A and B are shown apart, each in its own frame.
Chain A
Amino acid sequence: MAANAPKLEIKDVGKVFKTKKGETTALEKTSFTISDGEFVTILGPSGCGKSTVLRIVAGLEEATSGQVLLDGLEINGPGPDRGMVFQSYTLFPWLTVKENIVFGLKLKGLSQKERDDVAGHYLQLIGLEQFGGHYPIQLSGGMKQRVAIARALANDPKILLMDEPFGALDAQTRNIMQEVLLKAWEESKKTILFITHDVDESIFLADSVYLMTARPGRLKKKVPISLERPREFSVKGTPEFAKYKEELLYLIREESLKSV
């Protein structure tokens, strides 16, 4: 495989739902690529089909056209090579934090010792060393999503798919979680595809922001973000950040005006 071959390639992927009233296009034919180690956010209004893109990549939904290639191989159904973090809390409530993190490793048949090592590493990475033995019901929303991220990373996927993972959290927690995620990303060097409707969040996290139009969804523009890394919360106050924000807000507004 060539060194600069894309990690993930989305080729003419589209989705049409059949309803009683006929066909509804959820996602127009969309193509884009993500490089190895890249952090890509897809920014779009609700109902634009951005979650559909992610679910198709995850293999949880079938596209009506096109194909998705991961490392050059067509994906066919869900698999452990594509980890996923949902917006809703999806920790297994009957397992402790630690057992949740090693869920995938246990399926793979790793030994107790190996699982303990991985669990220890990720508990430390997300700052929850003291909570390994807790059950999800005892955790706050932000803590639950930290564990969900750790669980996905512990399984060592080729790409991490995140569907508005901080959407249910309050603004303060959300800011902290973004920093936690960046730290985890820098440490693991994973390729990440992250869905959000929050402009600040999309800029702060990404190497590239893909802006999507309202339904029927399609990619409108790719905006590369060249803010320096590692990024900290303070970058949100810089003029460069404000410039990106203005550009994206303008593009979104343009889109909104069209549909009014």
Chain B
Amino acid sequence: MVLSLHMPGSFKSLIELGDFYMGTKWFTPNKEISKTLYTTAGLVVFILFLAVWSILSYGGLVNPVFLPTPTAVLATAADLLIHGDLLSNIGISFTRVLAGFLAAAIIGIPLGILMGSLKIMEGAFEPIIGFIRYMPASAFIPLLILWIGLGEPEKMSVIFLGTFFQLTLMIMDVTKNVQNELIEVSYTLGAKKFQVYTKVILPASLPGIVDTLRITFGWAWTYLVVAEIVGASSGLGYMIMQASRFLQPDKIIVGIITIGILGLLTDMIFKGIYRASFSWMRKDGF
């Protein structure tokens, strides 16, 4: 009873203490904070994550067979990079992701634009694509192996199946969101149907298309491991599977982090393209 009466007071003083040290605006919804603080917050969480990992591994709290130390992972990464085949695995995996993704984009972008602008195309393709996209791409692997064997086309097809349907539907939505008045005003300025595509719909939806590609390329990386788990003899996914078989958690972690870094890099490249290409979307024009 005494304790419960006392609690609110101590709790309140804790918050006041927090306010005093951290400033109230940190925890005010939607309030802007300084750029340095923003970056520091991200860094702190990263360091916390590493700290937990270090305590668990260096402290001997977890068997190194399951969780290697950060230094062991770094050493393995360096070793795989210099003496091993990490680079060639990256090359092979990147090629597969890129090829599967490009095929999905080359078909998906025009199809999505047509579906977003022509009701007949939407009526024809939306139901079947909406249906297939709920079928897991990985479940198609046995069928793909049966149809086209275990070679590169099979790996690329998995990535294609994993990205194509979502990508097409997202492009369709982007195209649908083009302000109708822009299309109407272009007609009153003399645009023909084909010019409405090239002069209005395409430039208006281009930022959305680039953003869709950025997001779906991220998904393509996640499908890579699925594609390389079955019947592969090279690539990052294969490397991870092999390491699991030989109880090399350090190698698994290197593989996972590598895929993460590659995904992050491609994301940054797309963001760079976006920034460089669409200065008209920003007030300052830069």
A interface residues, Cβ below 8 angstroms from B: 58-60, 77-80, 82-84, 86, 88, 90, 92-95, 103-104, 107-108, 134-138, 151-152, 155, 157, 161
Contact = CB atoms under 8 A, between A and B. Distances in A.
Given A94-B203, A107-B189, A151-B189, A138 B182 contact: no
Nearest to B189: A104
Contact of B185 (A79, A90, A93, A136): A90
Given A82-B188, A155-B190, A135 B199 contact: no
Contact of B188 (A83, A95, A137, A138): A83
A151 to B, nearest CB: 7
B283 interface: yes
A78 B184 contact: yes
7 contacts: A58-B188, A78-B184, A95-B280, A107-B189, A107-B191, A137-B280, A137-B282
Closest 6 A/B residue pairs (Cβ): A80-B190, A104-B189, A78-B187, A84-B188, A135-B280, A90-B185
A48 B199 CA distance: 34
Contacts of A138: 283, 285
B56 interface: no
B189 A60 contact: no
A86 B184 CA distance: 10
B209 to A, nearest CB: 13
Contact of B203 (A79, A90, A92): A92
A84 B190 contact: no
B185 A108 contact: no
Interface string B253-286: 0000000000000000000000000111111010
A19 B286 CA distance: 48
A90 B185 CA distance: 7
B179 interface: yes
A104 B190 CA distance: 6
B280 A93 contact: yes
Interface in B203-260: 203-204, 206
Secondary structure at the B interface, as helix, strand, loop or mixed, is helix
A60 B188 CA distance: 9
A79 B280 contact: no
Contacts of B188: 58, 60, 78-80, 82-84, 152, 157, 161
Interface residues of B, number: 24
A106 B177 CA distance: 25
A84 B203 CA distance: 21
Contacts of B199: 103, 107
B195 A84 contact: no
Contacts of B187: 59-60, 77-79
A79 B193 CA distance: 12
Interface of B: 179, 181-182, 184-191, 195, 199-200, 203-204, 206, 278-283, 285
A151 B203 CA distance: 18
B203 to A, nearest CB: 5
Given A90-B179, A107-B190, A155-B190, 5 more contacts: A58-B184, A79-B188, A92-B182, A92-B203, A94-B206
B281 A86 contact: no
Contacts of B179: 88, 90
Contact of B189 (A83, A86, A94): A83
B182 A137 contact: no
A94 B280 contact: yes
B52 to A, nearest CB: 45
Nearest to A103: B189
Given A94-B280, A107-B199, A135 B181 contact: no
Contacts of A58: 184, 188
B189 A80 contact: yes
A156 B113 CA distance: 32
Contacts of B184: 58, 60, 78, 84, 86, 90
A80 B185 CA distance: 10
A86 B185 contact: yes
Contacts of B203: 92, 94
Contacts of B189: 80, 83, 103-104, 107, 151-152, 155
B190 A79 contact: yes
Max chain A CB contacts within 10 Å: which of B182, B185, B285? B185
A94 B204 CA distance: 7
A95 B206 CA distance: 13
A162 B219 CA distance: 47
Contacts of B195: 107
